[in-house]
Amino acid sequence: FFFTLYSFTGSLTLQTYGVVIFSSFKVPINKYHAAVLMGAVEFLGSLICIFVVRFSGKRIMALISISVVCICNILLGIYSFCNNILYLNFGTVINSYSGDINWIPLLLLVLTAFMTHCGTKNLPWMLIGELFSNDTRGVGCGLSTSASYLSGFAANKLYISMVLTLSLPGVYCLYSCICIIGLLVIYFALPETEGKTLEEIANHFNGRKKLSNKVHRKTVHCNRLNNETQI
């Protein structure tokens, strides 16, 4: 579900059709420069995810990431509707447009890319190493990875048809609704696994003992002068 959620909340198609989307929204900088900027913030978001997840936990990062992406999709839908940007612009001319209002979609699209890589893009790959038992990990990881690539293929393949059928405002409204569904499912279904042992996670899904939503930080013990000191 997490992999599919990432594919159908607009972030994956933004990567694939980024140059066309920037051109359609008439961003105030060169559309290829905007795509490079998007790639840079995605890399930064991935780094932040790696270092912050051990403190905040996966659950909180996922909820924050999806919430911000949802808000960005809503605002992009409103912006495209108010400015009559209904379809994609596949023109070959490299243009940049002046005007303060043109910065709004650029900031929203870049923020979407950043927040996605802080959460929904990278967290599923961490979770598949934690949520499956030793007996099911091979098959489970394989099926989850297959679902990731299949949903990604479907999202990219259907995107143009979705825009032609629903228009850009409609597509972003659809992405917003999917974000809200994902937010509810993850809130009620995803336990906090950061710092938890495989046994604790297995007991949670076996119904023996529910995991708390607090992050368990590992402690390091050292022996100084034959006395155990907890750091």
Low-confidence ranges of the chain (pLDDT < 70): 92-99, 213, 216-231
pLDDT of 95 reads 56
Q: What is the DSSP string of 148-216?
A: HHHHHHHHHHHHHHHHHHHHHHHHHHHHHHHHHHHHHHHHHH----TT--HHHHHHHHHTSSPPPSS--
pLDDT of 223 reads 42
- Beta carbons of 65 and 115 less than 8 angstroms apart: yes
pLDDT of 228 reads 45
Amino acid identity for residue 50 in this structure: I
Q: What is this structure's pTM?
A: 0.84
C-alpha to C-alpha distance for 135 and 146, rounded to whole angstroms: 19
pLDDT of 73 reads 96
Pairing mode, strands 227-230 and 221-224:
antiparallel
pLDDT of 220 reads 38
pLDDT of 96 reads 55
